[in-house]
Amino acid sequence: MSKSRNLPAAALLLAFAGPVQAGDFGLGRPALPEEIAAWDLDVAPDGQGLPEGSGSVEDGEEIFSANCAICHGEFAEGVDNYPKLAGGEGTLDRDDPVKTVGSYWPYLSTVWDYVHRSMPFGAAQVLTVDEVYAVTAYILYSNYLVDDDFVLSNENFLEVALPNAEGFIVDDRETTELPRFSQPPCMTDCKPEVEITMRAAVLDVTPEGAAAN
């Protein structure tokens, strides 16, 4: 490439008619629109990146059954250890919270984006844009968030709010933890007595043969 800053400005203009480079090294080449379109697939909570298209709960049910249900269940309830996509409403403050799209995820954009780019597991990026809208609609339906005649599209996408949209706070350790944990530590006679309160060997879930001896 010939966009080194060591070249005289005139030579740079002659040799390179494209946009002015900000960099110093003249390495790499401009990305073409088709290349950016192929790789830049992410969708943000404000809908940026969402392509035109639509899909219904009805179509989504069929697509989900064929591509997703083997791991996630016919009703998105999860099979074995594979993720549950529906259910768990109101469990986040319980001992064993069930975190699903309906109970936990803040943004529908993430569902669309993640399904489009990375699902089905083992055969990602096979669903068309309309199929992803349909599957997303079906996941909403499985979480009782829309009716069975719902059609999701890029037009109405931002009208859907997930239940836990307000459930997240930005890392607050700086105020809630760092001051408390930045005190000079106790060195001697720090506790009157020490008792063992729990033992891993009692639970016995460590893989066999892990010990060196």
Q: Between residue 71 and residue 90, which ones bind another protein under the rule CB under 8 A? A: 71, 80-83
Nearest CB to another protein, comparing residues 39 and 147 = 39
**Contact at 8 Å (CB) between 152 and 137?**
yes
CA–CA distance, 28 with 18 (Å, rounded to integer): 13
CB atoms within 10 A of CB 34: 8
How distant, in Å, are the alpha carbons of 38, 180, 190, 191 from that of 185?
A: 54, 11, 9, 13
Among 12, 62, 99, 151, binds another protein (CB under 8 A): 99
Among 47, 51, 53, 106, binds another protein (CB under 8 A): 106
**CA-based max dimension of the chain:** 81
Residue with tokens 């639509």: 54
| 200 dihedral zone (left: phi>0; alpha: psi -120 to 50; beta) | alpha
Among 50, 76, 107, 138, binds another protein (CB under 8 A): 107
Question: Does 10 interact with another protein (rule: CB under 8 A)?
Answer: no
Binding residue count for another protein, defined by CB under 8 A: 87
Question: Does 169 interact with another protein (rule: CB under 8 A)?
Answer: yes
Question: Does 70 interact with another protein (rule: CB under 8 A)?
Answer: no
Question: Does 17 interact with another protein (rule: CB under 8 A)?
Answer: no
Question: Does 156 interact with another protein (rule: CB under 8 A)?
Answer: no
CA atoms within a 13 Å half-sphere pointing along the CA-CB vector of 8: 3
Nearest CB to another protein, comparing residues 115 and 137 = 115
- DSSP structural state of residue 125: S
Nearest CB to another protein, comparing residues 159 and 189 = 189
Among 114, 127, 129, 139, binds another protein (CB under 8 A): 114
Nearest CB to another protein, comparing residues 148 and 173 = 173
